[in-house]
Every structure is written in structure tokens, then in C-alpha cells.
């Protein structure tokens, strides 16, 4: 496959969201790795997918580059500059606030998806913090099960939590002595270090 067969990917305009910028670059980066292109080619192909205000931004940058006032030599630098231009500077604060408010109140699958989405927007969160935030707001039955399984990192915690989806459905609906279905109460969370 030649690199002229560029992938159908998202266009990037001026959305002030680092997650969308990452979603713009991720398929492209996979494609670039598969066909092993140079950094110059990566930059040139990436700018083809800019639109709206991002195109105007690039035209201005490109003019500065031609004048020798500025350089963008790598795809990483291009992404950093796009983030600097289009993403709110306090985005990490906003995401951390969302993370603190995140609660496992509905399905565990929804909780996992929202948690993973927030993690994509945080670049420098420590592994121990990831697992703490993930487990801290789980419902007590899920928290206790992850503690019982002695999960050690966030990837393991997510895999175990996804397996709990079926366990939750089977264990929460029970029949009482009259044959009616009732929902059992979860056990209290045991906060032991």
C-alpha cells in the first residue's frame, strides 16, 4: 500500500478539546507507523486534514516558517502547537474536576468508559493516582471485589471491573420467599489500605 492511499480520518477544525485532537492524530499515527513515512511527510499529510480555523492557523504558521521565524519539525511539535492554540489552558483542571465528580451510579461499563475518556485527556497522572481515582468512586460491591482480587494497576482493574458486569446482573436480582424479584442492597465499602 502506498502512502498516497491516505486513510479516511477525522478532520480537525477548532474544537477546544484535547480528546478530539488526540482522536484526530491517533488513526493518523497508526497509519504513519504502518507505512513508515518521514517526519516531513507526517506533517504534510496531517495538515491536509485541518479545516476551519485550524487551516487558517496553519496558513499563518506556514508563512512564519517560510520567513524563518518559526519551525515545526515533528508531528509531536505540530500536535503540541495545535493544543496550545485550540485547547483551553486550564483543561487539566476541568478534567480533574470531572474526575473528582465521577461516580459509579449506573452501569459499571458506563463508569469505565467515562473514566477512560477522562484519562485520555490527562497527560501526566501517575499510575497509583489512576487506580485510586478509579476505585474510590466505585459502588461498594465493585470496590470490594477489586480489593479482593488485589488489582495492582489500572489496566488490571478495568479488566476485572468489566468482568463484574455479568456478576452484578446475576447477584443484584434475587427472588424473595414469595417468588417475587427484589434487588439486593450492596455491602458497605471496606476502606482498608
- The owner of cell 493516582 is 129
Domain ranges of the chain: 18-86, 91-183
Q: Are 157 and 146 in contact (CB under 8 A)?
A: yes
Long-range interactions of 22-26: CB distance < 8 A, separation 24+: 22/120, 22/121, 24/49, 25/75, 25/79
| pLDDT reading at 147 higher than 90 | yes
**Count of CB atoms situated within 10 Å of the CB of 95:** 19
Tens digits of residue pLDDT in 58-84 = 888 888 888 888 888 888 888 888 877
Supply the pTM of this predicted model.
0.52
Say what the pLDDT of residue 111 is. 92
SS3 helix, strand, coil % of the chain, rounded to 5? Answer: 60, 5, 35
Amino acid at each position: 500500500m502506498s502512502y498516497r492511499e491516505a486513510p479516511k480520518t477525522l478532520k480537525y477544525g477548532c474544537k477546544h478539546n484535547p480528546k478530539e485532537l488526540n482522536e484526530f492524530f491517533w488513526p493518523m499515527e497508526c497509519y504513519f507507523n504502518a507505512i513508515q513515512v518521514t517526519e516531513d511527510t507526517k506533517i504534510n499529510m496531517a495538515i491536509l486534514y485541518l479545516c476551519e480555523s485550524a487551516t487558517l492557523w496553519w496558513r499563518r504558521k506556514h508563512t512564519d516558517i517560510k520567513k524563518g521565524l518559526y519551525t515545526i519539525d515533528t508531528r509531536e511539535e505540530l500536535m503540541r502547537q495545535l493544543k496550545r492554540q485550540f485547547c483551553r489552558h486550564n483543561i487539566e483542571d476541568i478534567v480533574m474536576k470531572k474526575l473528582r465528580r465521577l461516580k459509579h451510579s449506573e452501569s459499571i461499563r458506563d463508569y469505565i468508559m467515562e473514566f477512560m475518556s477522562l484519562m485520555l485527556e490527562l497527560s501526566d497522572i501517575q499510575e497509583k493516582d489512576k487506580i485510586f481515582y478509579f476505585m474510590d468512586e466505585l459502588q461498594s460491591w465493585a470496590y470490594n471485589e477489586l480489593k479482593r482480587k488485589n488489582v495492582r494497576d489500572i489496566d488490571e482493574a478495568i479488566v476485572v471491573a468489566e468482568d463484574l458486569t455479568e456478576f452484578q446482573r446475576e447477584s443484584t436480582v434475587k427472588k424473595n420467599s414469595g417468588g417475587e424479584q427484589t434487588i439486593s442492597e450492596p455491602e458497605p465499602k471496606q476502606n482498608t489500605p
